[in-house]
Amino acid sequence: MAAVLSRESWSRSPGFRFQIIAYTRLVYMPSSTLPANDQLIDQYLNYLLIEKGLSAKTLASYSRDIVRYHDFLRLNHVRRLSEADTAMILRHLIALRNAGLSARSRARHLVSIRGFYRFLLQEKIIQRDPARMVDLPKANLKLPDVLSVEEVARLLEAPDIEKPLGARDGAMLELLYAAGLRVSELVNLKLQDVNLEAGFVRVLGKGSQERMVPIGQEARDKIEIYIKNHRSRFLKNRTSAYLFCARAARPMTRQGFWKRLRKYAALANLHKKVTPHSLRHSFASHLLEGGADLRAVQIMLGHVDIATTQIYTHVARRQLKVIHERLHPRG
């Protein structure tokens, strides 16, 4: 017989077969009557109650957080807690943010999840702790709005690519989202930095760190149309090393691009505050929500600033390209 903590907030979750009494009372029942994951959660909450001596109010908070995480795993077809990885935890935090939870509330959720995984590691139920490297959301960090896939599509379709300005702007918007670029990286791209045949763009990021990022077919097509049919109109018989030019072969400025972006956001009837960084965060969020490997996304971004892990590792360029083509909405 196992001591099982009765949790009122768990009553709505499927699979639980114990009587609802109170947080501080224990009900003895065969542990075999609970599903495997539920048994582990029960063990952890009893550990907090008996060995850590946490209050009923604190236990209630822990149980709600862990149940919500457990429900998220089920919805994403993760059957065993040992199968969840760091990317899945980050996707859960993104889902919490999209549901409107504050950074403080998401931090509390992460504390609950971290404690649970530490317990599972301590009990040798899992071999590694997927929550160990996940950063706490910063309470004072104001993230830009993340656009939905449908909103991004409306924005990218706003420019009239039959006209020179629209062709240039459409290629810039598509590339910004396709590669998760910073606006400074976008406007400073050189013509030689883009390899349309291979489907990669070479980016010089912060600290002069160079990275190679794959781009999808949509971006390749729009860039090719711009280069072949319209770029010469901005050069006015001059030459320029820069990919995207404004008047008289001068490179596009960040301020100039911001103005163009605001125009297209209005044309797309987007009511959110849309900035170049919104597309960068949307790029990361959409890939992670689609199941992309967290480390690959970090490499493609060059630096992750969305309250996530700081894991950097080597991933082959071909592997990055496959991930991008498979998981990016416009890959």
pLDDT digits (tens, 9 = 90+) for 217-275: 999 999 999 999 999 999 988 999 999 998 878 888 888 999 999 999 999 999 888 88
Architecture of domain 2-122: Orthogonal Bundle (1.10)
Catalytic residue among 168, 220, 230, 280: 280
Tokens of 234: 């901005």
How far apart (Å, rounded) are the C-alpha atoms in residues 221 and 225?
A: 6
Give the pLDDT score at 55: 78
User: What type of residue sits at position 48?
Assistant: L
Provide the CATH topology of domain 149-327: hpI Integrase; Chain A (1.10.443)
**30: Cβ–Cβ under 8 A, 6 or more apart, which residues?**
1, 2
Catalytic residue among 64, 118, 154, 277: 277
Contact (CB, 8 A) for 232 and 256:
no
How far apart (Å, rounded) are the C-alpha atoms in residues 133 and 310?
A: 7
Catalytic (active site) residue 182: yes
pLDDT band of residue 128 (cuts 50, 70, 90) is confident
List where CATH 1.10.150.130 sits in the chain: 2-122
Q: Is the pLDDT of residue 185 over 90?
A: yes
Catalytic (active site) residue 206: yes
User: Which tops the pLDDT comparison, 55 or 73?
Assistant: 73
CA-based torsion, 233, 238, 240, 246: positive or negative:
negative
Query: SS3 of 227, please?
Result: helix
List where CATH 1.10.443.10 sits in the chain: 149-327
Contact (CB, 8 A) for 3 and 26:
yes
Question: Does the global pTM surpass 0.75?
Answer: no
Q: Which segments of the chain does DSSP mark as H helices, in order?
A: 36-50, 56-75, 86-98, 103-122, 149-156, 164-179, 183-187, 217-225, 231-235, 254-267, 276-289, 294-301, 317-327
Catalytic residue among 104, 138, 206, 272: 206
